[in-house]
């Protein structure tokens, strides 16, 4: 089944060239759009499979980048393997990130974050060029990448021997951000590629009405900067974020509580569990081995963690409540926990033993959370929860066949809806003109 997140990009790619499609509700998502434009050149009957294969290769590539960087720093296969698998196992209850090309800018951002947090600048010239290309496409595909400039500026000031490489890297990232900003300023409403809507069929009129009611024709804008609103949204964002890091059924139950005392208790308990142990471990490692790079990397990951969360609270305009937008900060957190994993639990120091037990306990929590990624989100039975993780029926090819048959009796410029299901709320309808899906 074609994913809901990609429906507009697919319709746009079928109808116009890449440069025109970038104006179409893009937010500067350059790299996924390039891949989707390549995917629609293949037979449309196999488009969902093609996109899934592309996304799988992307996830594998980003995982390999993270593995190589972490192994280079720690020289530990176990930690590097866990870090690479993080993109697949990151705890995001009810949301399947894998297999979607449109969402691939988040694992791309995570891979670039690891590169910068580990200060992987003292590499060969060819590797640095490759990392600079990754930096450009990441920044051109995800405006949140701007937060990484904070660490890059610090590295440029501190590291005198690698300034030329850091400058090349930072220039590529900055150029990508300028491209993303340019596209966002010029973006137009979704479905602009259809031209003026000619409602020739009752189905077309009704479907567009549903899409408009669902917010499909609205452009997501940045809310005006309001300090009071921003501060008011922080408690709710903290609670929502912490509950997403807790295993079920606690996460679903606690997020629905409205009592002030219950909220304070849940926030305090979750914060104590998820942050007291890693903070104690970092302080212990810094005191015992001041030259170790692990505490430094963990602290840099924490900086990105906070900056990304704060930026998203501002961009969303209130409480961070979209699980997709929690992908990067949660990745940063669990990556830090992996780095703190001790080499052995055999020690005579009681404090070190307690820290080791705490970190291993957090890893067990991670295992419980990761398990939730392999259940169908529709099991929750909530309204409008989206599509299930797996579809047993072949929906895309029959929908395309029906749409093509209807187009035989319509004009080439008539609008057709490739509808994979009858219910608009659980469908990923592709809206396109007949001439672009003709055999």
Q: List, for residues 47-89, the tens digit of each pLDDT value.
A: 988 998 999 999 999 999 999 999 998 889 989 999 999 888 8
pLDDT of residue 380: 46
Paired with 416 in beta bridges are 432
- Decide if 143 is inside a domain: yes
Q: For residues 26 and 332, which has the higher predicted lDDT (pLDDT)? A: 332
pLDDT tens readout for residues 121-179: 877 888 888 999 999 999 999 888 999 999 999 988 888 778 888 898 999 999 999 99
Does residue 237 or residue 122 have the better pLDDT? 237
In a domain, 33, yes or no: yes
208 inside domain: no
Q: Which domain holds residue 60?
A: 4-188+222-390
Number of domains in the chain: 1
CA nearest 394: which of 94, 47, 97, 101? 47
Residue, of 230 and 387, whose pLDDT is higher: 230
Within a domain: residue 437?
Answer: no
For residue 386, pLDDT over 50 is answered with: no
Per-residue model confidence (pLDDT) at position 216: 56
Q: In this model, does residue 381 exceed pLDDT 50? A: no
Give the residue with greater pLDDT, 322 vs 60: 60
Q: Is there a contact between 326 and 244 (Cβ–Cβ < 8 Å)?
A: yes
Q: Is residue 150 part of a domain?
A: yes
H helices, E strands: number in the chain: 18, 2
CB atoms within 10 A of CB 410: 15
Residue 402 lies in a domain: no
DSSP H helical ranges for 22-124: 30-39, 47-74, 77-89, 105-117
Task: Identify whether 408 is part of a domain.
Answer: no
Q: With bands split at pLDDT 50, 70 and 90, how would you rate the model's confidence at 375? A: low
């Amino acid at each position: 089944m074609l994913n809901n997140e990609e429906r507009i990009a697919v319709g746009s790619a079928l109808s116009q060239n890449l440069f025109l499609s970038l104006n179409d509700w893009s937010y500067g998502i350059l790299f996924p759009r390039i891949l989707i434009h390549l995917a629609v050149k293949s037979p449309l009957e196999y488009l969902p499979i093609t996109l899934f294969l592309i996304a799988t290769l992307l996830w594998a590539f980003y995982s390999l980048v993270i593995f190589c960087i972490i192994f280079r720093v720690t020289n530990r296969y176990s930690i590097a393997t866990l870090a690479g698998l993080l993109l697949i196992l990151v705890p995001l209850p009810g949301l399947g990130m894998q297999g979607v090309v449109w969402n691939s800018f988040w694992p791309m951002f995570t891979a670039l974050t690891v590169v910068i947090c580990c200060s992987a600048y003292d590499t060969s010239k060819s590797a640095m060029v490759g990392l600079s290309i990754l930096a450009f496409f990441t920044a051109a595909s995800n405006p949140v990448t701007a937060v990484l400039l904070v660490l890059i500026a610090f590295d440029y000031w501190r590291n005198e021997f690698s300034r030329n490489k850091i400058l090349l890297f930072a220039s590529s990232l900055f150029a990508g951000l300028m491209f993303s900003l340019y596209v966002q300023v010029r973006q137009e409403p979704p479905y602009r590629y259809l031209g003026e809507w000619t409602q020739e069929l009752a189905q077309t009129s009704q479907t567009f009405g549903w899409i408009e009611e669902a917010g499909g024709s609205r452009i997501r804008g940045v809310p005006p900067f309001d300090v009071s609103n921003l501060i008011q949204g922080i408690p709710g964002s903290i609670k929502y974020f912490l509950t997403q890091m807790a295993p079920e059924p606690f996460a679903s139950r606690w997020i629905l509580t409205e009592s002030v005392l219950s909220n304070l208790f849940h926030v305090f308990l979750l914060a104590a569990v998820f942050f007291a142990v890693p903070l104690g471990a970092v302080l212990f490692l810094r005191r015992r081995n001041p030259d170790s790079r692990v505490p430094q990397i963990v602290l840099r990951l924490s900086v990105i963690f906070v900056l990304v969360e704060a930026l998203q609270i501002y961009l969303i305009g209130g409480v961070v409540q979209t699980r997709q937008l929690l992908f990067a900060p949660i990745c940063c957190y669990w990556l830090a926990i992996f780095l703190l994993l001790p080499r052995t639990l055999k020690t005579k120091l009681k404090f070190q033993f307690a820290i080791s037990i705490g970190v291993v306990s957090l890893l067990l929590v991670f295992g419980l959370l990761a398990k939730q990624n392999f259940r169908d989100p529709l099991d929750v039975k909530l309204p409008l929860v989206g599509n299930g993780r797996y579809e047993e029926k072949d929906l895309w090819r029959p929908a395309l066949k029906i749409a093509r048959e209807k187009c035989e009796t319509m004009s080439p410029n008539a609008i057709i809806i490739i509808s994979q299901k009858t219910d608009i709320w659980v469908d990923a309808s592709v809206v396109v003109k007949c001439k672009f899906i003709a055999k």
